[in-house]
Structure 1
Amino acid sequence: METSLLICDYSYHSRPFTQNSRSGLTNYLFRLQTEGSCRVICRGQEYHVQAGDLILLKPGDEYDLEVKESEIDGRVSSGDYYVFCEGDWIDSWWGRKERPVVSAVGVDEKLLRLWQNLIIEKRRGPLEENVEIMDYLLRGLCLYFDRAIAENTHSSRTVFAALRLKRFIEEHATVTFKLEEAARYAGLSLSRSVRLFKDYYGMTMIGYATQIRLNAAAERMKYSDMTLEHIAETCGFSSYSYFHRVFRAHLGISPKEYRLKERGF
């Protein structure tokens, strides 16, 4: 199964703008509002789209877009990333589940980077390697949509906050970070964050970060020739002596012994 990327770009409107596809779209359209606002009519319903809203439309969907002056300050401002695409893989992905026409997923930097990479590859032209890269990037974009929708549509704010803490730790575990930074990312106090994470995941935030760091260190010991000191540093441990102590406490052997064992010595 393959994908076909037809159009992929960023647009910004500072003047009133309309786009009508009342006879129905001929391809899939994915659109992320990144700034400003607009009005969209699809499947007989009107949506007031704000920054952070993701629009997912399928072939045959009616699509009316209107960018007009703000009722508050009279300005016209609307920026968005968009993709028109088709293909057997897209059909299969679309059929896996029901998705809202508009989902509030936020302006996620990771999602934007993925989208920006897709735009760059599209602009480079139809080279053989570009087509394959675009295929995988587009699939990744679609799968990321599902994650973003799932993570931002929890009925419970508590569940969402716990997940935000977990995602922050996963992204920052191999660098030095403070628990206060994770708490701020989740919009909670430090004490509330500590209790919430332990309640939902059965371990402390530091314990989860340590688990990720040890897994990363073990992989680098098995598959790279980095020194143990360098591995400790790049996996988020403050010193080699601390890394050595934590590694032995969790795995029962020293880092050096682990590396020799994994390499058959």
Structure 2
Amino acid sequence: MLKPVSYAFRSDDRSILTLDSIGWQTIHTKEYSFSGEERPDCGHVIFQYTLSGMGYIEVDQTTHALPPGSGFLVKIPSRHRYFYLESEEPWEMIWLNLRGDEANRIWDLVTEQEGTVIRRGHDSPLIRHYWKLLQAISEEKVTDKYRLSALVFEWMLTLVQSSRDAGNEISAGSSSIVDRTKKYLKENYASPLTLEEIAKQAGISKHYLCRLFQKAEQVSPLAYLRDRRVEAALAQLRTTDLPVQEIGRRCGFDSPSYFGKVFREYMGMTPKDYRLKKLEFPYDAVYYE
């Protein structure tokens, strides 16, 4: 069973993403205070997350509280200070420090989206993935730098995905509507659907449906439907001998000319040319998710 613990790793290999340290601890003393400009250990990035109690971070002369469910992303060196106030409840937190160009790039990407302070639930994919990483080290004794690099990179992908999801957050009920509508469009791409018919199937107005889709998927329902139709056409051009015109009809395009126009927008060539260029495009399926 996991318990508060910390580990450090040392490697001179700068060709890969490396885990510098990782841990789970509780802070009780005001002596806990770190300045990003004064630390002797430079060249890494830090993720730190509050489980209970409260910590603080000062960035650009502004102090941010770090209650449970919040954390921060910083680089060393940079202008910041994170600390604990002794009068508060003990600060229980988890952290990891990483080195490598990719870690710096991901930190820039996420902080540009969310800022230095981020918020995730204790049961969020990011925190669940963190516990799996700590467990692999603590219980499975994983210490190989390449295996650790792969595990950390998976955690960083979860960070990126959760950051994008945080920016596109919708309620559980709205998410269910979007998921049901996506399923309906995938199953009925061949039908001559209108926006009104799609909205009726979803049980909401077309304007509300468009707002939900734009927030959750960054595209309109009709654009999402068009992606599914092109995907189906690409597959049929490669896996059947049906005439191009018939494939367009079966994939929901109401005219051969419109099918050709849309196809060229996606692939830069006609459906017939795509069918012939098997060496340049050796794919049985292409997805636009």
Q: Does the alignment pair 1:35 with 2:52?
A: yes
Answer yes or no: is the 8 Å Cα contact 1:7–1:83 preserved in 2: yes
Answer yes or no: is the 8 Å Cα contact 1:42–1:61 preserved in 2: no
Distance in 1 between residues matched to 2:109 and 2:166, nearest whole Å: 19
C-alpha distance after superposition, 1:2-57 (max 9, x if no partner):
21101111112245452222525511001112222111123433211111112011
Q: Does the alignment pair 1:9 with 2:23?
A: yes
Equivalence map 1:48-197=2 (5 Å): 48-69=65-86, 75-96=88-109, 98-99=112-113, 100-123=115-138, 127-128=143-144, 131-154=145-168, 160-161=170-171, 165-166=175-176, 195=204
| Letter in structure 2 aligned against 1:55 | F
Distance in 1 between residues matched to 2:174 and 2:28, nearest whole Å: 34
Rg (Cα) greater in structure: 2
Deviation at 1:86, TM superposition (A): 0.3
Name the TM-score, length of structure 1 as normaliser.
0.52
C-alpha distance after superposition, 1:178-226 (max 9, x if no partner):
xxxxxxxxxxxxxxx9759x933599xxxxxxxxxxxxxxxxxxxxxxx
Deviation at 1:104, TM superposition (A): 2.2
Match of 1:228 in 2: none
Equivalence map 1:219-230=2 (5 Å): none
| Letter in structure 2 aligned against 1:111 | L
Distance in 1 between residues matched to 2:30 and 2:126, nearest whole Å: 27
C-alpha distance after superposition, 1:106-154 (max 9, x if no partner):
32343222111222333455643xx333212211222222222333345
Distance in 1 between residues matched to 2:149 and 2:38, nearest whole Å: 25
| Letter in structure 2 aligned against 1:139 | F
Answer yes or no: is the 8 Å Cα contact 2:73–2:107 preserved in 1: no
Distance in 1 between residues matched to 2:29 and 2:64, nearest whole Å: 20
Answer yes or no: is the 8 Å Cα contact 1:104–1:149 preserved in 2: no
Answer yes or no: is the 8 Å Cα contact 1:16–1:76 preserved in 2: no
Q: 1:194 to 1:67 in 2, by over 3 A?
A: farther
Q: 1:12 to 1:111 in 2, by over 3 A?
A: same
Answer yes or no: is the 8 Å Cα contact 2:53–2:90 preserved in 1: yes
Q: 1:119 to 1:161 in 2, by over 3 A?
A: same
The ranges of structure 1 where at least 4 consecutive aligned residues each deviate by more than 6 angstroms after the TM superposition are none
Indicate the percent of aligned positions where both proteins have the same amino acid: 12
Q: Does the alignment pair 1:20 with 2:37?
A: no
Distance in 1 between residues matched to 2:136 and 2:51, nearest whole Å: 21
How many residues align? The count is 172
Structure 1 unmatched runs, 5+: 171-192, 204-265
Deviation at 1:102, TM superposition (A): 0.5
Distance in 1 between residues matched to 2:65 and 2:108, nearest whole Å: 26
Q: 1:13 to 1:194 in 2, by over 3 A?
A: farther
Q: Any idea what SS the aligned residue of 1:23 has?
A: coil
Q: 1:142 to 1:16 in 2, by over 3 A?
A: same
Match of 2:248 in 1: none
Q: 1:127 to 1:38 in 2, by over 3 A?
A: closer
Distance in 1 between residues matched to 2:99 and 2:174, nearest whole Å: 33
- What RMSD, in angstroms, separates the aligned Cα atoms of the two structures? 3.7
Q: 1:163 to 1:30 in 2, by over 3 A?
A: farther
Answer yes or no: is the 8 Å Cα contact 2:21–2:98 preserved in 1: yes
Q: Any idea what SS the aligned residue of 2:170 has?
A: helix
